Structure 1
Amino acid sequence: MLSDRSYMRSEYSRGGTTPAYVWLICAIVAMFVLELVVLSPKLGGAAILVQELSLTVEGVREWHLWALLTHSFLHSTSSPWHILFTVSGLIFAGRELEPLLGAKRFLWLYAGMVLLGGLVWTAVNWTHGTGHIGAGSAVFGLLVVLACVHPQMEMSFFLFPVQFNIRHIVYVLIAANALGLLLYEIPGTLLPLGMTPSAHLGGMLAGWIYFRYLHASHGLDRAGGLQLPAWLRRWPKWRASSAGSSPRIPSPNLRAEVDRILDKINSQGFGALTDQEKRVLDEAKDLLSRH
């Protein structure tokens, strides 16, 4: 039914289409299994693969620049919490943001957060850094974008029943990582659980830059809950219909047209829609609300 489509409800379910964030999770889990295999005592020589993909200052000095991205697919094999945090963060943020951004823009944003996080980590640890792995920079960055797009969203931590506003959580994460950067990472002291605040802050900075300078410029703020008042949104539609500038699509063809538009949103994001396509969605939504 038309009302089952993602534009008409909050859940993101597109039959036959696997979201990009799910493919990212599959790649991360597959790489984690590969790490467990190649790092076993029986295959000690194969550990060179993990070393080549990890981000190290020495590697950057030798122009192993691919590690600025590939390190995000590696996670600690000594503690399950590292990969569990990444997977849970991708599920939480990905299912909210990918329908809004589109798969391609979501992947570019993810890569940009990983890249900037890696660059910031390299700069901070240039004289004393050992190595860095994990996609924490992307997870923290996605949380920043999510807090900007849905500032009133509530979330809970795992088994804790208490709900927290996502903006407050982001503020706490920024403060905690800033303290870790100043008190531990810059002086060259190892942090508990091998945390890397500089990479996290770099990813969060990338998320803020994206929302501040790119998100609204593509018209995506309309789909993110930052909308004009209802009376002001109705006025342009009334004016357009009275002037006859937007022809009304016959009802038998409406569902097919909406399906096409929603496929376009899924592949290119909401910002790629024309004004006419947005009016078609508004018309379909109005029809559903009356039936």
Structure 2
Amino acid sequence: MGLYDRDYSRYDQERPFLASVTYPFIVGVTVLCVVFFIISLFQRSITGFVELSWMHLVQDNRFWTLLTHPFFHPTNSPFPIVFNLLVFYFFGKELEDRFGWQGMLAITLCAMVAGALGLLAGSAAGWLSRGDALLGMSGVANAVLVAGVLLDPRRSRLLFFVLPVPGWAIVAFSLLMDLMRVSSGDVGAGQAAADILGMAAGAGSFQVLSRGWYWPRRRVLSRQRAKPRLAVYRGEEDQPMVVPFRPRVVPAETSLPDNLNLELDRILEKISQQGIGKLSDSERQVLLKASESLKKRP
């Protein structure tokens, strides 16, 4: 087995593609929209089978349009898909950093459901034309816009990617434009109503995710990757530490001999001949006592 044939050196090569992508949900949705847009360019008649409207859903029983309408875009101009995907990326990457792909999926689904229910309810009540249709992910992009701005409402963002303005001002401007479209009663009023409801869904889903009501909030910022936490190992803390008992040995007190001078001469001669390491405990006590008695003399 060579150095580059080991299992740990092949780990990165065996990882799935999306696992190695920085923003897997954003990349996946972007690729899906681009592929469907290219298909629509060659099959323009497919638009009528994927857009959501009251007539298509209720009269023609095209229930799949509840899922397909955000991922297809009008083919008469590239501006809608380009603008929506740019907003989805620049405001969504911070959300995916914080909440993960699960949070982005929740925001997307909430925006899809809110926009679809708003269009169908408005068409059923007569507020909107039953011919109004939803096509494109502008509602999802507005939801991501609002949720991304709520991370830091006062931070400056680039309006139309040119003019720096506070994030809340971008949301207010987008909301005002959609309200004007709804009040005008034009053909795009249904799309504008879905965009407004998408904003509401983005704000609501952000509040839910930021409080961690459904899964723990991710802090990455990174995307915060899973890293082992370092800790000092202190052994089994529950078990008391057993300290062996070692009785202190106190040497017995040695009385000074009567012939102290002779004894000191003998001990000093022994030290000069054999070294201090050869002295016994009693001899050491005699030296200690003798030094103390000499200190006490006036």
| Deviation readout 1:251-277 (Å, 9 max, x if unpaired) | xxxxxxxx9x7148xxxxxxxxxxxx8
Quick one: which amino acid aligns to residue 262 of structure 1?
R
Aligned residue runs from structure 1 range 44-193, under 5 A: 47=45, 49-62=46-59, 63-126=61-124, 127=126, 128-130=129-131, 131-158=133-160, 160=162, 162-181=163-182, 183-185=183-185, 189-191=186-188
Moved more, 14-23 or 61-70: 14-23
* More divergent stretch after superposition (27-36 vs 145-154): 145-154
Deviations, residues 191-240 of structure 1 (Å, cap 9, x unaligned)? 4xx88210101111111111233431348779499xxxxxxxxxxxxxxx
* Cα displacement (A) at 1:26: 0.5
Compare CA radii of gyration and give the structure with the larger one: 2
Compared CA separation, residues 69 and 222, structure 1 to 2 (3 A): closer
Counterparts of residues 180-219 of structure 1 (less than 5 Å): 180-181=181-182, 183-185=183-185, 189-191=186-188, 196-218=191-213
Paired position in structure 2 for 1:20: 25
In structure 2, the residue matched to 1:262 is: 225
Note if contact 2:54-2:130 (Cα within 8 Å) is conserved in structure 1: yes
Question: Are 2:36 and 1:34 aligned?
Answer: no
- Summarize the Cα distance change of 1:149–1:133 in structure 2 as closer, same or farther, 3 Å threshold: same
Distance 1:153 1:15, change over 3 A: farther
Give the structure 2 partner of residue 251 of structure 1.
none
> Could you tell me whether the CA contact under 8 Å between 1:20 and 1:107 is conserved in 2?
yes
Deviation at 1:115, TM superposition (A): 1.8
94-103 or 49-58, which deviates more: 49-58
State the alpha-carbon separation in 2 of the partners of residues 136 and 263 from structure 1: 33
CA apart distance, 1:116: 1.0
Structure 2: stretches of 5+ with no match in the other structure: 1-17, 231-298
> How much has 1:153 moved relative to structure 2?
2.3
Letter paired with 1:145: A
Deviation at 1:80? 1.3
Residues 89, 96 of structure 1: alpha-carbon distance in 2 compared, 3 angstrom cutoff: same
User: Do 2:112 and 2:198's aligned partners in 1 also have CA atoms closer than 8 Å?
Assistant: yes
How much does 1:70 deviate?
1.0
Q: In structure 2, what is the equivalent of residue 284 of structure 1? A: none
Any residues of structure 2 matched to 1:227-266 within 5 Å, and which? Answer: 262-263=225-226
Larger relative contact order, structure 1 or 2 (CA cutoff 8 Å, min sep 6): 1
Q: CA RMSD in A?
A: 3.1
Give secondary structure in 2 for the equivalent of 1:72: coil
Contact 2:106 2:205 in 1 (8 A): no
- Asked if the contact 2:98–2:220 (Cα under 8 Å) also holds between the matched residues in 1, the reply is yes
Contact persistence 1:149–1:224 (CA under 8 A):
no
Q: Give me the TM-score of the superposition, normalised by structure 1.
A: 0.63
Identity of aligned residues (%): 22
Quote the Cα distance in structure 2 between the aligned partners of 1:222 and 1:35.
37
Distance 1:119 1:224, change over 3 A: farther
Separation in structure 2 between the aligned mates of residue 20 and residue 222 of structure 1, nearest angstrom: 15
- The answer as to whether partners of 1:150 and 1:224 remain within 8 angstroms in 2 is no
Return the alpha-carbon distance in structure 1 between the equivalents of residues 200 and 220 of structure 2.
20
Which structure has the highest helix share of the two? 1
Cα distance, 1:65 vs structure 2: 3.0
Query: Post-superposition shift, 1:146?
Result: 1.1
Question: SS of 1:212's equivalent?
Answer: helix
TM (normalized to structure 2)? 0.61
